[in-house]
Amino acid sequence: MVDRHEQEGKFAPKYHASSRLVVAAEREATHRALSLAEIVDVPIVIVHVSNREAMEEIRRARQRGQKIAGETCPQYLMLTADDLDQEELDGAKFVCSPPPRDKPNQDACWEGLEQGVFDLFSSDHCPFRFNDSEGKLNEKGKRNFRWIPNGIPGVATRLPILFSEGVMKGRIDINRFVALTSTNHAKLYGLYPQKGTIAIGSDADIALWDPDKQVTLTNELLHHGADYTPYEGLEVRGWPVRLLLRGKTIVENGDLASRDMAGSYLSRGLSSLAANNTSR
């Protein structure tokens, strides 16, 4: 598909999306991965789901009893392929794989979060800057979407977007928010209950939220190395106001309260999907 686009003289960022078809590519890739996992009887996580076709493959596999988890990302809830179609190559900011789809597929991803098809909510975080000769607008990337580095800055905005658009708009409740962003991750990657819950014996890693705090997302607000955010100007309601690491406040009202943030290595146990699996 990329070769075909080039032969037709289609080089702009928007053609990154149309060169990666939902039905022919993502649905088939999802189906094939699930089929191979079923044959060898091992759990599988399908990440970066962008559309209904792939989501329904996950739903059907789960109904068959297959041990599977699904993940989607904020770019598939908030962006569409139209965002890649901008003047002055600004569409390069939104190039990622899979690319954002159309509005019906965006709605399908919200449906997957609401109905439990998705277990995880994660994000890209593109290490490439936009206005950089080695980043999104490298010389070859300016001429052809094939050479635009993939990825979207999104880690810092991931939870506020899901809280504002999900919890505060009634799509999901607060418990589902915690599960999608913390508990399910800890269970799937063998770190529960040390992580992912507030309980005696667990690490007291806690984010406290003000559900009514309204914030306008800007790149200036964020603490990352990228020179843009794809969600510039988005109004969100609900914001973290205090962060505790093992019971000690390290961030409060946006200010770093402590630099004593030494981490410790954690050995992982079995995934919750693999705990009762006989395969190795």
Residue 277 pLDDT grade (very low, low, confident, very high; cuts 50, 70, 90): low
Q: How far apart are CA 43 and CA 115, in angstroms?
A: 21
Structure tokens at 105: 């597929």
Locate the domains of the chain by residue range: 13-256
pLDDT at 109 over 80: yes
DSSP secondary structure string for all residues of the chain: -HHHHHHTT--STTHHHHTS-IIIIIIHHHHHHHHHHHHHT--EEE----SHHHHHHHHHHHHTT--EEEEE-THHHH--GGGG--GGGGGGGG--SSPP--HHHHHHHHHHHHHTS--EE--------SS-TTSTT-HHHHH-GGGSPP----HHHHHHHHIIIIITTTSS-HHHHHIIIIIHHHHHTT-TTTSSS-STTS---EEEEEEEEEEE--GGGS-SS-S--TTTT-EEEEEEEEEEETTEEEEETTEE---------------TTTTT----
Structure tokens at 220: 């200036």
Q: What is the pLDDT of residues 117-166, one digit of tens each?
A: 999 999 988 889 999 999 999 999 999 999 999 999 999 999 999 999 99
Residue 23 pLDDT grade (very low, low, confident, very high; cuts 50, 70, 90): confident
Determine how β-strand 68-72 pairs with β-strand 120-121: parallel
Measuring CA to CA, how many Å separate 35 from each of 40, 53, 60, 250?
Answer: 9, 15, 11, 45
Of 6-15, 29-38, 175-184, 268-277, least confident by mean pLDDT is 268-277
Measuring CA to CA, how many Å separate 245 from each of 77, 83, 174?
Answer: 29, 37, 21
The pLDDT of residue 259 is 79
The pLDDT of residue 91 is 96
pLDDT at 280 over 60: no
Output the pTM of the full model. Answer: 0.93
When pLDDT is averaged across residues 238-263 and rounded to a whole number, the result is 88
Looking at the structure, give the CATH architecture of the domain made up of residues 13-256: Alpha-Beta Barrel (3.20)
Q: How far apart are CA 81 and CA 84, in angstroms?
A: 6
When pLDDT is averaged across residues 100-109 and rounded to a whole number, the result is 97
Residue 279 pLDDT grade (very low, low, confident, very high; cuts 50, 70, 90): very low
